[in-house]
Each structure stands twice: as structure tokens, then as C-alpha cells.
Structure 1
Amino acid sequence: MAKTNAGRFFEDYHVGDVIKHAVPRTVSGGERALYHALYPARHALYSSDEFARASGLPKAPLDDLAAFHVVFGKTVPDVSLNAVANLGYAEGRWLKPVYEGDTLRSESEVIGVKQNSNGKSGVVYVRTRGLNQNGDVVMEYVRWVMVRKRDLDALAPETVIPDLNKVIPADQLVIPEGLDFTNYDFELAGEPHRWGDYEVGEVIDHVDGVTIEEAEHMIATRLWQNTAKVHFDNTARPDGTRLIYGGHVISMARTLSFNGLANAQMIVGLNGGAHANPCLSGDTIRAWTEVLDKAETSAPGVGAIRLRLVATKGGAPFELKGEDGKYLPDVLLDLDYWALMPL
């Protein structure tokens, strides 16, 4: 009897299946230090325990995207080990901060399947939840993945495409207990711009660029225990390249957005996202953001701001799609998210 696991293929997924992913992981200050070194992240709430305490939290949480990577990485062996590509995200919410010493685990429910017309692969939709040691859900999100078929003659399943919200209503965002920005220190945070300084429709060029190197990507992908073959094995793709993990692009773009959005502190909602084109080692990532919406919250001094973060590897800034409605070839990421910002 075989002891190894080749991973799931498209025909192995059925709507309603619930997958409990191995292996739980206790996070430490090491994850934060490596995250800040790899990208390098520098939003104040996650960099300083003292800044976090002044904002009503017990200490600095793990960066929202670092927690996302840990939860996401748990799902890869069961969801995307044999993936062609991770296609998109929706209905993501951060429900509870993750702190040093928390133990995270993940579980996913299959909520949709659709075989591609070529008969060689299909799209699988899953809703993933990350839970801590107390059983509290710390985050949830939907993603859809293109997965290879093992048996090309396997019958196509009945198509089920979930009906997903395009935007999380602002009143459904969860504000961390105790968060209070009334005494927010803009000087220590790095920029003076507050919630009221941003206008819907405003576009911000984040100016800086970072060239992606193979070594840092491999460290990051291993750190998050992402085992997808396309990131590690250069025989997994016909062109002999290794794809840069999409989450690596998300975190790099988020870090670049500090220049212009240093006070967009906590990510609390993920409305949608697409990895528009593959990112490879040697590509230089740049980023720009469009302000899509704003909302007040019940937390003192805290406003919510909806942002479209776009990562590119060249091309003119602020251009996203061509006349045909398709993403331009230099666009890597299109991410729509909610963040919390001082009023």
C-alpha cells in the first residue's frame, strides 16, 4: 500500500466536502521578523507593541497577510498541490487578530466545481476558515483554483458556481475589540494622511519598485509551508519556470503601498482579487492604489477605507485593462480590500 500522497486532482472534489487540513502551527515572533525582512513590512501597528497598546490592543498582532499566508499554506496540499494556477479570491474577512503564541489550523469546504472545456482541468471553489487554539475563527475567505485532472476520461461533474458577494458591506467588517485611534501618533506611523484626506476616485502611485529574486521567493514559500509544485519544481510547467507564489506578490504590493498609505493599518476585508498574469523571478514589482469607497465604523477614531491595490511589472501606471476588457500583460495583481485608518 502506497504511503505517499500525490495530492487531489479535479475529479476528487465534490461540492459539500469539508477538508480538515494538516498540520496546526503555533506562530511566534519569528514569523513576524521573517515577514518584515522578506517584504519589508513596516506598518506601525504590527511593528511595535507600544504603538499597538496605544491603539487599544494588548500588543502588536501578527501582520494580517502573514496570518493569511499561514492559513493559506495549510490548504495547499489538499486544494492546490496539482493546481495550474490560483485564480481569485472573494468574501475574505479577518475576524480576530492573531498574536504570538496562537496556534492556527485550517479547514475548507468545497462550494463549487466547473470542468474546463479542454477536459484536462477544472476550477474548484473552496471556502477556507482559519481557526485558533480556542476554536475561534480568525479569518475566512473564498478562493478558486484551476486544478489538473488525473483521468482525462473522468466524467465532468455537474457545474456549480457559487454566488459570491462582489463587496463585503462595511457594516459586516469586524473591528478588533478595543481598537481606538483617538490618540494615534501620525509621526511615529510615518505619514500625516488620515481617513478624511483621501477621496473616492483618488489614485496613488506608490513610486517604488522591488525586483523579485528566486531565493527570497523560495524562503517565503517554504516559510508559509506552501507545497504547490509550480512554485518549487521547474518541471511542473511546460516552459520550465517556477511561478512566484501569488501571496508573495500580494505582500510585496501591500508593503510598497506604505508610501502613500502608511496609515491604512489593519486589513479587515478582502472583496476580490485576481492574479492577472504570472510573476517570475527577475520581474520588478510596482504598485498603485485607487480609493474605491469609505465608511465610518463604531470604533473610536477608526474609519474604513476600500482600496484597489494593483501590482504591475512595467507598463504605464494606472492602466489595468485593455479595450477588450482583459488585464494588460504587465498587470500581476488586482486586489480589492478594506483597511482600517485613523479618522
Structure 2
Amino acid sequence: MSQNQGNFLEDFSPNQVYQHAIPRTISDGDVSLYLALVGNRNPLYCSILTANNIGLNAAPIDDMLLFHIAFGRTVNDISLNAVANLGYANIQFKRNAYVGDTIRSESQVIGVKENSNKSTGVVYVRSTTFNQDDEEILSWIRWVMVPKRNNDSKINELIPNDLPEISDLSQIHRHDVSYANFNSIDTGSDLLFEDYDIGQVINHSSGMTIDETDHTLATKLYQNNAKLHFDAYMMKSTPFKRRLIYGGHIISLCRSLSFEGLENALQVVGVNSGVHSNPTFAGDTIYTRTEIIDKFEHGNFSGAGVLRLRQLGIKNTPSALIENITSEKNGKKIYDPSIVLDIDYFVVIPKRK
């Protein structure tokens, strides 16, 4: 009987398409467990009344929970053997998802590059997630480092040179939402779109220490079976010597920790770029810092504006104490060892009436 060993670098070819197995119906249990694991206090995702006030019949699925479950569909084909998930581009949260929706994902290989060590390489994929009505609800680009099965194998290389720098918000469907009817009493903060300035930096004061059980349960919740998150015996023989925490869990923790100061940033609608700049392990404490790098209005979001945020995930150092995010070494930008996430994304936030 054959066993699924996952794909290695030489198994990927440009334009290859994967129809990923294991569709998933999202349940109330998924929502509750995610809330317990990351502590997000955004009322839109846990209060039907808050959702009703802005015109929705039910509370939508947390944007990042949706992404993680959708991402989990792709792991068995794309990154089961990953050395590391390196980054993201153009994540588009095109439609809301709800409890009871069944989602499936597919991916197209858009690039393959062999590394100079001849033992690993990078695979670039564009993934798309659909609901039970075959509506496209989410799409993203990511690149992942994958080992070769045989160092002598020849790789069919194609290096993508047209990765989008900005998520296209014209593809985001929120026409059924009236953010103008949002009641800020639900968040306990009256800070709205007009109260934020470009260049403003928020050092969110709270930190969260990651337990082994937290990140293990979270990654199982998403059915992300990448070996580096679970196989402690295998990881002993790597330079890390221990299991790595799924980078998406860090994104969720930073989003949750940033509620303080961004209480009314209701929905993530697009991610422009994201880099997992250093590894995270159980026992690390995560802090976060957010910079407002742009703000504007967009016709797809009635009664709301858009903030563009650069958010840093920082381990074991309160964000207010970080002075230099990067430094130069041999002509290359190197992240400070405490910086574990650098992500650039759009949020929708209500405007004053």
C-alpha cells in the first residue's frame, strides 16, 4: 500500500493545477475553538446583533480563521514537506463566509526556483477557495521553501516577475454591508476612520505567550498537516531542533493583540504582502506594533473607510522597546531576530455618520 509522502521540488511544474482534497463545512465549534485559541475580541465575529446592525443575517467567519482553514486544504499537495512558508501576496477576502458554508480550494503553480544549495527550492502558487455555490470567496499567492527528493534532479524553473504589490479591492464584495449602522458601543471605543493619521504608530501593550497546546490545537483545527509543525522527532535533526509554530497562528495573534487601539477595524479585506521573518517556538511571547501607512475611501464599502496597516509581530520584547526593525548585512536587509512577522494589509473601519 502506497503512502502519501508529499511533493518535493522536482514534483512541481509551472502551470500545474491541484484540486485539493478534503472540503470543509465550517461549524460553530470551529468558531468557538478559534476564539479560545487566539482571543480575538472583535464583536462582528461573535455577536449576531453586531452583524445584524450592519445588514448581515449572521455573524461572518473571522477573516483569518477562513484563511487558515482554506490554507489547510492546500498543505498536503503544496507544503507537506516544507522547510518554511516564506511569504504571501495579494490575499483577497472577496466574500464573507458563514457557519454552514462548505469550502474547497485549488492551486496553480506560478513559479519554481531551485536554490543555490541544490537541495531546496521555492515554489510559488496562486490558490483560490470556493463556497458550496462555487462562488470565489478567497484567493492568495504564497511561496514556500521545499526540499528536493534527489539533489541531482533537474528542475523545470520559472521565476515569477509580476507578483502584485497591492491587493485589488475592486474584487472585494461587501455591497450587502452598511458599515454606517455600526454601533461603537459594541467595541467600547469611539475611534473611527477619521481619528487615524498616516504615519501614526501604535505600540499595542499586551503580549501573549504561546503554549505548545495552543499552537498544536490551532494548526490541527485548520487541518494543516505540515510535518515541521507536528513531528518533534523529525525536527530534532534540523537546525531548529524543535517544532516550528505555523506562521498563520502568529498573524492571528497579532490581529487579536491589535484590537487594543484598532477596536473598530472590523474586517480584513486584503493583504498586500507578508513575510515570516524569523521562526517562532512554544514559550515565545508575541507583541505587536502597527503603523498606519495609508487611508482612503473606497466605493465598495458603504459607510466605511480603508486603513492600510503595516503590522509587526515581535517575540519576547514589548513593541515599544524595538528601535531598529532591520539592519544591513553584506548589502542585504536583515530583520532583527525579534521580528517574526512583517505584514501589510487593508482593514475596513466605519466612518463618522
TM class, shorter-length: over 0.9
Paired positions, count: 341
Partner of 2:26: 27
Amino acid at match of 1:243: L
Report if the CA contact (8 A) 1:173-1:268 is conserved. no
Pairing 1:241-260 to 2, within 5 Å after superposition: 241-260=242-261
- Alignment match, 2:297: 296
Which residue of the partner structure matches residue 307 of structure 2? 305
**Higher deviation after alignment, 136-145 or 43-52:** 43-52
What is the aligned partner in structure 2 of residue 285 from structure 1? 286
User: How do 1:133-144 residues align onto structure 2 when only pairs under 5 Å count?
Assistant: 133-144=132-143
In the TM superposition, residue 169 of structure 1 has moved relative to its aligned partner by 4.6
Give the Å deviation of 1:189: 1.8
Q: Distance in 2 between matches of 1:89 and 1:318?
A: 25
1:1-343 mapped onto 2 (5 Å cutoff): 2-170=1-169, 172=170, 174-237=172-235, 238=238, 239-298=240-299, 299-315=301-317, 316-317=321-322, 319-324=324-329, 325-343=333-351
SS in 2 for 1:259: coil
C-alpha distance in 2 between matches for 1:258 and 1:203: 14
- Structure 1 residues 162, 132: CA separation in 2 closer, same or farther (over 3 Å shift)? farther
Q: Which runs of 5+ in 2 are unaligned?
A: none
Query: Which one is further off, 229-238 or 23-32?
Result: 229-238
Could you tell me the percent identity over the aligned residues? 44
Q: Distance in 2 between matches of 1:273 and 1:257?
A: 17
Q: Report the secondary structure of 1:260's partner residue.
A: coil
Question: Could you tell me whether the CA contact under 8 Å between 1:288 and 1:317 is conserved in 2?
Answer: no
Amino acid at match of 2:296: A
Shift of the alpha carbon at 1:163?
A: 1.2
What secondary structure sits across from 1:165 in the alignment? coil
1:168 Cα deviation (Å)? 2.2
Measured in 1, the distance between the counterparts of 2:177 and 2:99 equals 18
Q: Show CA shifts across 1:99-146 (max 9, x none).
A: 010001110000001000000010000000011111111100000000
Contact 1:173 1:269 in 2 (8 A): no
Q: Is the 8 A contact 1:83 1:147 kept in 2?
A: yes
| Rounded Cα–Cα distance in structure 2 between residues aligned with 1:307 and 1:56 | 26
What is the CA–CA distance in structure 2 between the aligned matches of 1:70 and 1:36, rounded to whole Å? 14
What secondary structure sits across from 1:254 in the alignment? helix
**Cα distance, 1:207 vs. partner?**
0.5
| Whole-Å separation in 2 of the counterparts to 1:236 and 1:272 | 30
Instruction: Give the ranges of 4+ consecutive aligned residues of structure 1 lying more than 3 Å apart after TM superposition.
Output: none
RMSD over aligned Cα, in angstroms?
Answer: 1.2
Alpha-carbon distance between aligned partners in 2 of 1:341 and 1:15, rounded to the nearest angstrom:
39
| Residue type at the aligned position of 1:242 | R
CA shift for structure 1 position 297? 2.0
In structure 2, how many angstroms separate the alpha carbons of the residues matched to 1:158 and 1:100?
41
